[in-house]
Amino acid sequence: MDQYSSDTGNLNVIVTGTDSYSPLSSATIEIANTGEPNRILESITTDQNGQTGYIELSAPPREYSMEPTDNQPYSEYNLKISAPGYQEGLISGVQIFSGENGLQSIVLLPSEQTPDYVYNPIVIGGHTLWEYYPPKIAEPEIKPLAESGEIVLSRVVVPETIVVHDGVPSDSTATDYYVPYIDYIKNVACCEIYSTWPESTIEANLLAIMSFTLNRVYTEWYRSHHSFRVAKI
C-alpha cells in the first residue's frame, strides 16, 4: 500500500454500458494514486454483475475527518476502466475515507459510437470541506414575497427531477443538468459532509439539504429569476 498503510477504506466499482445499461462483466479496472498515476496499485476485473466487489485501499487516519486539521482526511485515486467493445473510461480523484465503503459507478460508450477517441476523463473535485472554493452568492434570509413567480404551489412536493443550473440564475448561457431528486440530494451530501461523521450528524445535515432544496422548489425562487431550477450549491 502507500503512506497510509495503517488505515484503509474500501471501493466497489460498478461498470455498465450506454447501449443497454446492463452490467459489463470482464471489464478491467486499474487503480493508481492520483500523485503517481503511472504506478498501478490494483488491477481487477468485474464480475457478472459488473462489479469489482470491495477493494481495500489505503486512507489517512479517520480522526483527520472528525475536526478541521491541516491533514487531508481522504486519499485520492485514479481509475482506468476498459472493456472489450467499449471506449476506455477514466476517473480522477476518487475519494477514500478510513473505515468507509465507497461506491463508484461509470457508464462506458460503445467503441463504434464515436470513432475518434477523445480524452475526456471524469475529474472529481476536492471536497468542499478541504479545498478552497469561492464563497457562495449571499442571499437574504427573508425574501420579499411581492415578486412574481413565488409561492405558487399549493403544497410542498418532492420533485422527480432537479434541474441544476451550472451558474448564477441570471446566466442564460450556463448549462442545465437534469438530475433525479434522490441523486441530487446524495451528490450534494457527498460534497458537504464526511461519511465518517456520526449517523445523527449526517441525518441532521441531510435534513438541512432537503429542506433548502424543497424550499427552492416550493417558492419557485429561481423561476422568478430565470427559470425553474435549483442553482448549483
Tell me the C-alpha distance between 82 and 46, whole Å: 10
Note the pLDDT tens digit of each residue in 192-211.
Answer: 999 999 999 999 999 999 99
Q: What percent of the chain has pLDDT over 70?
A: 81
Query: What is the CB-side half-sphere exposure of residue 151 using CA atoms within 13 A?
Result: 5
Angle 123-126-130 from CA coordinates, rounded to 5°: 175
Question: How far apart (Å, rounded) are the C-alpha atoms in residues 108 and 90?
Answer: 10
Q: Which residues contact 118 (CB under 8 A, 6 or more apart)?
A: none
How do beta strands 8-17 and 101-108 pair?
A: parallel
pLDDT given at position 135: 82
- Cα angle vertex 46, ends 40, 47, to 5°? 150
Strands (E), 83-232: 89-96, 101-108, 122-123, 161-165, 176-180, 230-231
Q: How confident is the model at residue 168 (pLDDT cuts 50, 70, 90)?
A: confident
Sign of CA dihedral 79, 45, 27, 14: negative
Residue range 3-36, pLDDT digits in tens: 544 699 999 999 999 877 789 999 999 999 999 9
pLDDT of residue 226: 46
Query: In the chain, what's the furthest Cα-to-Cα distance?
Result: 60
pLDDT value, residue 152: 56
What pLDDT sits at residue 1? 42
Over the stretch 45-58, which tens digit does the pLDDT of each residue have? Answer: 999 999 999 999 99
* Number of residues that make up the chain: 233
